[in-house]
Structure 1
Amino acid sequence: MSTEMNSPLAAAYQPLRVGPIQLKNRFIKAATNEGMSPNGIPSQQLVQFHAGVAAGGAALTTVAYCAVSDDGCTLPNQIQLNRQTLPHLRALTDAVHAAGGKASAQITHGGCFVFTRAPGQGRPLSASGGFNKIGLMSGMFFKKQMSEADMQRIAVDFARGARLAQEAGFDAVEIHMGHGYLLSQFLSPRYNQRKDAYGGSLENRLRFPRQVLRAVLDAVGNELAVICKFSMVEGARGGNHIDEGVQIARALAEEGAHLLVLSAGLNAESITTMFGSSFPPENRAVVTNPVMKFAMYLQQLAEKPREFKPLYLLKYARQIRAAVDVPLAYLGGLTSAEGVVELVDEGFEALALGRVLIHDPNWVNALGQGVARQSGCTACNRCVAMMYTEGGTSCVLGLPGDPILNSLPAAG
């Protein structure tokens, strides 16, 4: 790395301690649903995808959506954390380590936001029962309000999943508490209509997510970094606003999370809040899954067009930064050297990149070597559509001269 020690960028290339592990720099590949695990089994394509990100300079690469329970997968091409997948995941972590990086497993459960039914599965679980609007696209029209026994079982599943991730060679786990998945369904007043100790006030809505975090920390917190990703704002009527986001961050910090990844939005109601830009109608043309094609159509009808702006979540992230001392990873529209400097100056310990590293997995190295200052990613969101194709996540713009991209199998 040729970044001079006194250059404005230099701080982003300094080591960072996250719980029990040390990262070589501040750059993290954010979890982005790869769609490269047919029947729940990680593929060689997925191994090379993350090894390429590590070789490109990111200190930590996050393997998206590792379901902790059979009934927790949203789609059939997502990883299930079990004994069958361990050898494949070990191949992935070995490859990432050989490329100079560390690997994080995003552990999660979809709750009622699922489009596949596990064998013997009844109604999908959620914070509250009743009609399941997501089920209109999957045939699961009703959801089950979780009992305390259900919560205990799922908390054990999260802890078991974290231990399996450790056995597979991961350096960190990221508990997904955002975007409308199960733990987010407890946090969100849109989904959580309970009248007991797990509903009503935000303190109550936090009770089960905190229980899960505590179980994971008890299971692996001395050996793995335990990261929490959550939505600072939900961007939908009746959902959490930034005041609740600040309180969630404080609670997770109090519980002992080693790092918080600051995201936003809900998958079904406010996806442009998450990505900071609209999804062009032509994106649907590449999607081979008819359920997801229809879901994207409904989403485009429901949300207003939105033009991408760099650092589009910074105004919310600043409020989290002012409220907690726990390390924070900024996520949302970081595309330039100037943005890196601004975020480091504002006190964010880590910098999370999603679409930028799908477009060019070598961008962190290129930035540090002074050969790039601005990402070529246009935030067109076609890579998001590619997640739901047989080829998996890839950038449609491509980088013909990039040796790391050229080493990957063709996608799409």
Structure 2
Amino acid sequence: MNPRPTPSPFSPIAIGPLTLKNRFIKSATNEGMSAQGVPSKQLVKLHSALVAGGTAMTTVAYCAVSDDGRTLPNQLTLTPSSVPHFKALTDGVHQSGGLASAQITHGGCFTFIRERSTKRPLSASGGFNKIGLMSGMFLKQAMNEDDMQQVVSDFAQGARLARQAGFDAVEIHMGHGYLLSQFISPMYNKRRDQYGGSLENRLRFPRQVLRAVLDAVGKDMAVICKYSVTEGVRAGNSAEDGAQIARMLEEEGAHLLVLSAGMNAESITTMFGSSFPKENRVQQKNKIIALAMAIQRRKEPTVEFRELYLLEHARKVRAAVKMPLAYLGGAKSLASIEKIMAEGFDLVAMGRVLLAENDYVNKLESGASRDSICTACNRCVAMMYTPGGTSCVLGKPGDAVLNSQKAADR
């Protein structure tokens, strides 16, 4: 148990150079609200509504740092030409009283983009690419030193572009099976050089990325790392490994860690804490995505949702480091949030709950609500492929017209 006084979840907190008005962060979720690789007007509307509803900082997901770093064709990409559209989003968030974080990422071999600058998608190691079963790219390419330096430069430039676009923070995605996670995970990293083998070696390249981003923007922006504390499979990293990873990221100077879990291909229920029932899936017209969903449905056992499903793992990280930590995983009631605070976590990150009720934080603070209406049905995940983008099945669908319009277009 944490010996420090338990803070109110509605009290301010300093994260690097930032001060958040309370302890609530909208976690990064792929909303399917990008128009030709830039934010749509619907995305601006959603993130503005989230902070107007009380969330201190909202995270804009999957901002690729290069064209090769994209996982899907319309994915948000940080480029000089996209800055005005991202700026329209951050302006909307700031006008609504909150802060904005850009999640910067590179998919590595977890990609469905066939048009790329390399013959094969890059990863920690080469050889068979199991993700390629769904995209036709059956082989991946091990990165060399030049490739790594290019990606380090891409992340630093992505962070600078995020700063130019008005973001208050950047969140480096090191989890869920994307490129940096592919280096950290023993399932993907089979290298025999200084970037493979021990956990310390496997963190070497992700730490280089973190250091470059800190050097680029760390005095002006909060630099956050999101990673998988446990990968949820026997061959992957455990929570004990997750605690060691946290120590290394703290040593490198990260301002905040967001504690996620699981891998997209191997352990999606570890990430979401519950299964994706067939009856809660939308009909998917994209054949590749439909196949991916079908594979996940067959391979994953049925898991029933329980609140705070990742707390047991997150506690090991809390015991290992002193730095600020954001708990993520099944907080959907005031009682759960207060428990997180009492156990020494500094912030709570929420995804599905805030998609279900954009104003949930205001409802909590006013006493109008204690329990979220979210049922953890996970249909919001599949809804990102609908014309209006992500929405909760209990509410209205997204606006397809706004979702087709670029944020800065008039």
Calculate the TM-score normalised by the size of structure 1.
0.94
Q: 1:114 aligns with which of 96, 107, 111?
A: 111
CA contact 1:29–1:58 (8 Å) conserved in 2: yes
**CA separation of 1:192/1:410 partners in 2, compared to 1, >3 Å: closer, same or farther?**
closer
Q: Distance in 2 between matches of 1:119 and 1:140?
A: 11
2:246 is matched with which residue?
Answer: 249
TM superposition shift of 1:121: 4.2
Q: Distance in 1 between matches of 2:357 and 2:118?
A: 40
What are the Cα deviations for residues 272-305 of structure 1, in whole angstroms up to 9, with x where unaligned?
Answer: 0000000011344332321111101001111100
1:321 is matched with which residue?
Answer: 318
TM superposition shift of 1:101: 0.2
Q: Distance in 2 between matches of 1:10 and 1:324?
A: 18
TM superposition shift of 1:321: 0.5
SS at match of 2:172: strand
TM superposition shift of 1:34: 1.1
CA RMSD after TM alignment = 1.9
Q: Distance in 2 between matches of 1:394 and 1:285?
A: 12
Q: Identify which range, 8-17 or 83-92, moves more after superposition.
A: 8-17
CA contact 1:112–1:132 (8 Å) conserved in 2: yes
Q: Distance in 1 between matches of 2:40 and 2:17?
A: 29
AA of the residue aligned to 2:209: V
TM superposition shift of 1:392: 1.4
TM superposition shift of 1:139: 1.4
Q: Distance in 2 between matches of 1:71 and 1:399?
A: 34
Q: Distance in 1 between matches of 2:205 and 2:153?
A: 12
- Residues 342-357 of structure 1 mapped to structure 2, 5 A cutoff: 342-357=339-354
CA contact 1:292–1:388 (8 Å) conserved in 2: no
AA of the residue aligned to 2:168: D
AA of the residue aligned to 1:106: Q
Match status 1:49 vs 2:46: yes
CA contact 1:284–1:293 (8 Å) conserved in 2: no
Q: 2:78 aligns with which of 77, 81, 89?
A: 81
Q: Distance in 2 between matches of 1:389 and 1:399?
A: 13
Q: Distance in 1 between matches of 2:68 and 2:385?
A: 19
Q: Distance in 2 between matches of 1:228 and 1:10?
A: 23
CA contact 1:70–1:118 (8 Å) conserved in 2: no
Q: Distance in 1 between matches of 2:6 and 2:120?
A: 50
Q: Distance in 2 between matches of 1:13 and 1:284?
A: 35
SS at match of 2:81: coil
What runs of 5+ residues in structure 1 fail to find an aligned partner? 1-7
- Residues 2-401 of structure 1 mapped to structure 2, 5 A cutoff: 11-398=8-395
Q: Distance in 2 between matches of 1:366 and 1:372?
A: 5
**CA separation of 1:145/1:93 partners in 2, compared to 1, >3 Å: closer, same or farther?**
same
What runs of 5+ residues in structure 2 fail to find an aligned partner? 405-410
CA contact 2:232–2:261 (8 Å) conserved in 1: yes
Q: Distance in 2 between matches of 1:114 and 1:284?
A: 22
Calculate the TM-score normalised by the size of structure 2.
0.95
**CA separation of 1:119/1:245 partners in 2, compared to 1, >3 Å: closer, same or farther?**
closer
Q: Distance in 2 between matches of 1:288 and 1:373?
A: 38
AA of the residue aligned to 1:263: S
Q: Identify which range, 162-171 or 230-239, moves more after superposition.
A: 230-239
TM superposition shift of 1:399: 6.5
CA contact 1:226–1:257 (8 Å) conserved in 2: yes
Q: Distance in 1 between matches of 2:69 and 2:370?
A: 40
What are the Cα deviations for residues 251-290 of structure 1, in whole angstroms up to 9, with x where unaligned?
Answer: 0000000000000000001000000000011344332321
1:5 is matched with which residue?
Answer: none
Q: Distance in 2 between matches of 1:340 and 1:57?
A: 15
Q: Distance in 2 between matches of 1:222 and 1:76?
A: 33
TM superposition shift of 1:409: 5.4
AA of the residue aligned to 1:160: Q
AA of the residue aligned to 1:278: S
